[in-house]
Each structure stands twice: as structure tokens, then as C-alpha cells.
Amino acid sequence: NAIGELFENNSQFVSFLLVVFGINMAVGIVFHLSKNTFSWEEFLLRNALMWFVCICMYWVLEMLRITVGNNDIGHIFGITIQLITLMYPASKIAKNIYILTKGKYPPEFIMNRLYNFEKTGDPNDLLNNKNQEDEIR
């Protein structure tokens, strides 16, 4: 069974994704309550849509990864799939917290990396230490 295999082979990723979904929901409630824009209907609809989008895209991209095969390219693509799947709700968390803290947290250089990663999909935009050293100077 493909779903059982997904959980068995990727239990850490699935656990992280569930935690990130939960945190996103909590941060979303706090964010919208602070702006007096909270609506249960909107909350449930938007979160259901996020779950739907993440799950659908993960499965489609995972099928492509399986087609590539069990090699270095397939392994790197698999890591990228998990990273972009986690980053969708994680980026919403970061953006909402950034607004709630009036730009104090996460630091601006992290937000810039996040926005660059969303544009390019290149994990180096998010993780490259050389760029971090340049940003600190």
C-alpha cells in the first residue's frame, strides 16, 4: 500500500509536516485574532486548502521522483520535494510571526532568504553559508 509505505519510509517528514500544519494553524489564529479578522469558516477553508495542495503536490512530485529512479538525482529531488512541501506552511508561519513582531523575528536576513527560496526554489538561497556571511557584513 503506497500510503503505508510513505509513512513507513518517511515517518520523520510526515511527523514534521503534521507539526508544521499544527503550528501554522495556531499562528494563523493568533495573527487573525490580533487583526480582528478571524473567521472559523475562513480558517477551516484555508487550512483545508493548504493540506489539499500540499498532499496533492507531494504525491505528484513523489511520482516523478520514483520515475527518476533510486539514484543520486532521485535522492536529491526527494529531499527538494520534502523541503518545498514543508516550506509552504513554514513560510506562512514565518511571515505571520514577522508581521506580529513588527519585523523583529525572524531576522530580516532570514526573511530575505525565505523570499528568495520561494522565487527560485534553489535550496542554496535558503541554506548557503557564503550568502549569510555576505549578509552579515
**Is pLDDT above 50 for 12?**
yes
> Is the pTM value of this prediction over 0.85?
no
Mean pLDDT for the stretch of residues 69-94: 92
| Angle between helical axes of 108-120 and 72-100 (0-180°, round to 10) | 140
Q: Measure the CA–CA gap between 21 and 3, rounded to whole angstroms.
A: 19
> What is the predicted pLDDT for the residue at 48?
97
Confidence grade of residue 136 (pLDDT, cut at 50, 70, 90):
very low
pLDDT at 77: 92
Q: What is the pLDDT of residue 120?
A: 84
Task: Summarize pLDDT for 87-122 with one digit per residue, the tens.
Answer: 999 999 999 999 999 999 999 999 999 888 888 877
Looking at 5-9, 104-108, 128-132, which range is the least confident one?
Answer: 128-132
Cβ-proximal residues to 121 (8 Å cutoff; 6+ apart), any chain: 80, 84
Q: Residue 109 and residue 61: Cα distance in Å, rounded? A: 29
Residues 51-68 have pLDDT tens digits of 999 999 999 999 999 899
Q: Mean of the per-residue pLDDT values for the chain?
A: 88
